[in-house]
Amino acid sequence: MTEASFDSPESLCHVRPVLPAEQFVAFQPPPPGPSVSFTLRLGQALHRYGTPAHRLEEQMRLVSQRLGLEARFFSTPTSIFASFGPPESLQTCLIRVEPGEMDLGRLASLDALADEVIRGALSPEEGAERVEAVLAEPPRYGNGLHLLCWALAASGGARLFGGGPREMGVAALISLLIGGLDLWTRRQASTVWVLEPVAAVLSSALAVAAASLVGPLSVQVVTLAGLIVLLPGLSLTVALNELATRNLISGTSRLTGAALVFLELGFGVALGTRLTEWLPVPPKLGPLPALPAWTEPLSIVLMMFGVSVLFRARPRDWGWIALAGMLAYQGSRLGSQLLGPQLGAFLGALVVGMGTNLLSRVRNRPAVITVVPAIMLLVPGSIGFRSMESLLARDVLAGVDTAFSMLMVAVALVAGLLFANALLPPRKVL
C-alpha cells in the first residue's frame, strides 16, 4: 500500500511506502517525467470538456501505453485517479475536476494534439504546453451568438414537439431570457446552482402569461421547448452508457445528477404554475396548428446550428452535424413506425452511430463531434420532464408510466450506439 497526494497535474506525486516500523526507510520517488505530466494534463482537459468515463480512461491508457508508461486510471464525474509504475511501487495521483461543459472544438484540438505526441511530431513537454494553450483559448463564440442559439434551439424544439408559430416565438423568447440568466449566473459562484429551478419558474410562468395575453397556445409545448437546452437527457444517456460499459461509480453518480436536475425543473415548473394563478386573465388554450411539412427539416437544421454553437463546435463541422442530426431524426421516425415510439430510438441511434463512425474514419476526426449533437434530437429529456410534471401533479400512475418510457428510450439509445460501435468500430477513442 502507498500513501499519496497530488496537488496539480504538473506537481510531484509524493509516495511513501507503508512498512513495519523496524523496516521503515526513507523513500523519495523520482520526479514524474514529461510523459506523466502530459498524460495527466491531457486527461484533466478531456474530463473538463465532457468526455465520459469509459472514453476518458481508454484515451489516457492508450496515450500512456504509446509513451511507454505503465499506468492505471479511474475516472468519476468529479475526479481522476491515476497510478504509474508497477504495483509494488505505485505513484498515485488524485486530480479534482469540476464537471465542465461540452466543448466539441477543444475536444477535437486535444484529440489532434494527442495524435501528434503519439506519432512523435511533438515531444511530451511541447504537448503539455499545447494543452495549456488549448485551455487558455478565449471562447469560440460571443455572448450575442450564444443567446441567439438558445432561441433557435427552443424554436426548433417547439416545432418538433408539434407547436405552431405562436409556440415557436414564445419559446424562443423564454429561452433567450434563460440564456441571459445562464450567462449571468456564471459570473457568481453562489448563483450557478439555482439556474435550473429559476429557469423552470420563468418558463412555466411566462408560458401561462403568454397564453393569457397572446393565446391560444399550448402551455406545455412552450414550457418544454423553453427549457430544452437545460433538459438532462444527454446526461441520462451518457450515464446509462457508462453503466453499460461497467463504469458503475461514474454512471451511478451521473444518473443521480440527471435525476436531481429533473426534480429541480419539475419543482420550478410547479412553482411557476402556482404563481400564475394570480393572473387576472385566464390562459387561452387551443389546438396546435398544422404547419407545412417543409418546416420540419428547417427546424432540425436551425436546432442543429444552435446546438453546434452551444456545444462550441468548429464552423467547419456545422454541415456534418446538421447531416448527422437529419440522419438521427429520420432513422428514429422510421424506427418508430417499425418498432414503436419507445424502441424507435434504437434504430435512430444505430443509424447515426454507424454513420458518424464511418465519417470519423474518413475524416480522421473524433466521432463525438457529430454524434453528440445528433443524439440531442433523440434523448428522452422531454419524456422525463413530463414524468416529473405528472408526479408533482400527484398523478402517480402517469408519472411512473412516463418515467418507464423515458428509461426505455434511454436504454434503446445506448443499445443502438453500442451496436453501432460493434458493427463499425470507430478509429478513434473519442
pLDDT reading at 302 higher than 70: yes
What confidence tens digit (pLDDT) does each residue in 165-188 have? 888 888 899 999 998 888 888 887
User: Which pLDDT score, from 0 to 100, does residue 17 have?
Assistant: 45
User: Rounded to the nearest 5 degrees, what angle is found at the Cα of 131, between the Cα atoms of 126 and 136?
Assistant: 125
pLDDT reading at 322 higher than 70: yes
How many whole angstroms separate alpha carbon 46 and alpha carbon 103? 9
Q: Rounded mean pLDDT of 273-298?
A: 73
What confidence tens digit (pLDDT) does each residue in 336-359 have? 788 777 777 788 888 888 888 888
How many whole angstroms separate alpha carbon 139 and alpha carbon 300? 25
- Go through 304-340 and write b for each residue having 16 or more CB atoms within 10 A of its CB, e for each that does not: bbbbbbbbbbbeebbebbbbbbbbbbbbbeebbeeee
Domain ranges of the chain: 2-135, 140-307, 313-430
pLDDT reading at 5 higher than 50: no
pLDDT reading at 61 higher than 70: yes
Written as nine digits, the cell of 74 is 479511474
Q: Pick the most confident of 1-5, 39-43, 278-282, 294-298.
A: 39-43
Q: For residue 2, what pLDDT band results from cuts at 50, 70 and 90?
A: very low
Q: Which phi and psi angles does 272 have, rounded to 5°?
A: -65, -40
The closest alpha carbon to 9, from 111, 66, 79, belongs to: 79
Q: Which phi and psi angles does 354 have, rounded to 5°?
A: -65, -40
Q: For residue 323, what pLDDT band results from cuts at 50, 70 and 90?
A: confident
Which of 104-118, 128-142, 287-301, 304-318 is the least confident region? 287-301
Q: For residue 430, what pLDDT band results from cuts at 50, 70 and 90?
A: confident
What confidence tens digit (pLDDT) does each residue in 373-413 have? 888 777 655 554 555 555 555 555 666 666 677 777 778 88
Q: Quick one: which H or E segment has residue 83?
A: strand 79-84
Pairing of strands 14-17, 2-5: antiparallel
Q: Rounded mean pLDDT of 271-289?
A: 70
User: Which pLDDT score, from 0 to 100, does residue 286 have?
Assistant: 66
pLDDT reading at 222 higher than 60: yes
Written as nine digits, the cell of 401 is 408510466
Q: Is the dihedral of CA 225, 262, 346, 419 positive or negative?
A: positive
Q: Which residues pair with 118 in a beta bridge?
A: none
User: Which pLDDT score, from 0 to 100, does residue 22 have?
Assistant: 44
Written as nine digits, the cell of 245 is 460499459
User: Which pLDDT score, from 0 to 100, does residue 173 have?
Assistant: 92
User: Which pLDDT score, from 0 to 100, does residue 379 have?
Assistant: 67
CB 352 within 8 A of CB 374: yes
Which CA distances in Å does 327 have to 304, 370, 375?
12, 11, 10
Q: Quick one: which H or E segment has residue 12?
A: none
